[in-house]
Amino acid sequence: MRDDESVPPTPRPALFAAATLTLLCLGATGCGGGGTTQARPGPAVASPSSATASSPAPASPSPVHSSPAAPATRKPTPSASAPEAPSGPLSGKTVVIDPGHNPRNHLHTAEIARQVDIGTTHKECDTTGTSTNGGYAEAEFTLDVAHRMRTLLKAQGAKVVLSHDNDRPFGPCVDERARIGNKAGADAVVSVHADGSAVGNRGFHVILPASVRGGAADTSKIAGPSRDLGTRIAGLFVRATGSAPSNYIGGNSGLDIRKDLGGLNLSTVPKVFIECGNMRDPKDAALLTSASWRQKAAQGIADGISSYLNG
């Protein structure tokens, strides 16, 4: 569902978002609202990185991913038993996948209700997430998509870290989810979710971090790169799944910006959320419960990450 948060989102950058997504939707199927967005003369919101959606060289500083230099005394030893770094276009890159919620959160309601500091305010540690009317839990969905993404990204040579893998009784809390990405020195982090909204509300949207500062929260350096990451994911999610951008959030842009999510506010590395569909809508639920559709969803997200990391 809308993650740990029920606060209405901030005003959305519909104009720039529509413009940027339109660029990525060229040639893709299912770009809802394309007819109207194409009529726009250009990004109405001046934004230095709004053009990066089509730019081959996004300003992705990856400031924290400076691989520590190998100790001087350590020489390459081809026969060593150290795990081999797979080669591929994403070699040397670290991706953190954050599967939203936890299948056992509902057994730990007191623990997940604990308030945690997200810099700008305090929020619940985590929430149970939503489910389809048939009982397919969001937390199962997010783990499944995360596993599929991990396979795809590792095949390209990326180092992939999951924030959890159904290996803990609840959580992690949203602040820890952010720290996991930070500590990993991730080049990109994606938090995977599915929404729980009214019937008739359909489609996906990517949530980008607003630029916020407060306490331990300072997203001023990651807001731009995260927008690039999220815009690429939105466009390639459309291409992989054929799904249209949300018809109820983001003005058909597939993009939303929020300042109330701890998992974003506390991140020091580029990070976005994706709500892959609405579990409470029967048509979207039919997609979300389909393994073949989830593979397409994972492909679209992984493609967006790859596009961002490859520049």
Exactly one of 5, 138, 176, 275 is catalytic; which is it? 275
Q: Interface with Zn ion includes 258 (CB under 5 A)? A: no
Residue with the closest Cβ to Zn ion?
193
Nearer to Zn ion, 130 or 226 (CB): 130
Q: Tell me how far CA of residue 208 lies from CA of 80, 100, 181, 187, in angstroms.
A: 42, 15, 16, 16
Q: Interface with Zn ion includes 4 (CB under 5 A)? A: no
Nearer to Zn ion, 53 or 194 (CB): 194
Which of the residues 123 through 182 are near Zn ion (CB under 5 A)? 129
The region of 121-129, 179-187, 219-227, 279-287 touching Zn ion under the rule CB under 5 A is: 121-129
Q: How many residues bind Zn ion (CB under 5 A)?
A: 5
Tokens of 147: 């596993």
CB-CB contact of 266 with 245 (8 Å): no
Q: Which of 93, 108, 179, 193 binds Zn ion (CB under 5 A)?
A: 193
Assess whether 5 carries a catalytic annotation.
no
The stretches of the chain forming alpha helices (DSSP H) are 14-25, 34-37, 109-112, 138-155, 174-183, 223-241, 262-265, 282-288, 291-310
Task: Tell the smallest beta-carbon distance from residue 174 to Zn ion (Å).
Answer: 11
d(CA 263, CA 270): 11
The region of 5-13, 100-108, 156-164, 220-228 touching Zn ion under the rule CB under 5 A is: 100-108
Decide: helix, strand or coil at residue 304: helix
d(CA 68, CA 63): 13
Using the structure block, give the residue that is written with the tokens 């939203």: 100
CB-CB contact of 206 with 276 (8 Å): no
The region of 98-106, 113-121, 204-212, 250-258 touching Zn ion under the rule CB under 5 A is: 98-106
Q: Interface with Zn ion includes 93 (CB under 5 A)? A: no
Nearer to Zn ion, 22 or 127 (CB): 127
**Residues β-bridged to residue 206:** 255, 274
Nearer to Zn ion, 16 or 273 (CB): 273
- From residue 53 to residue 92, the character string flagging contacts with Zn ion as x (rule: CB under 5 A) and all else as - is ----------------------------------------
Q: Interface with Zn ion includes 280 (CB under 5 A)? A: no
Task: Tell the smallest beta-carbon distance from residue 194 to Zn ion (Å).
Answer: 7
Residue 285 has φ and ψ, to the nearest 5°, of -60, -35
Q: Interface with Zn ion includes 249 (CB under 5 A)? A: no
Nearer to Zn ion, 3 or 175 (CB): 3
The region of 6-14, 20-28, 160-168, 187-195 touching Zn ion under the rule CB under 5 A is: 187-195
Task: Tell the smallest beta-carbon distance from residue 192 to Zn ion (Å).
Answer: 8
260-271 burial string, b = 16+ CB within 10 Å, else e?
bbbbbbbbbbbb
Tell me, letter by letter, the H, E, C secondary structure of 15-75. HHHHHHHHHHHCCCCCCCCHHHHCCCCCCCCCCCCHHHHHCCCCCCCCCCCCCCCCCCCCC
Q: Which residues are catalytic?
A: 275
Query: What are the residues binding Zn ion (CB under 5 A)?
Result: 1, 3, 100, 129, 193
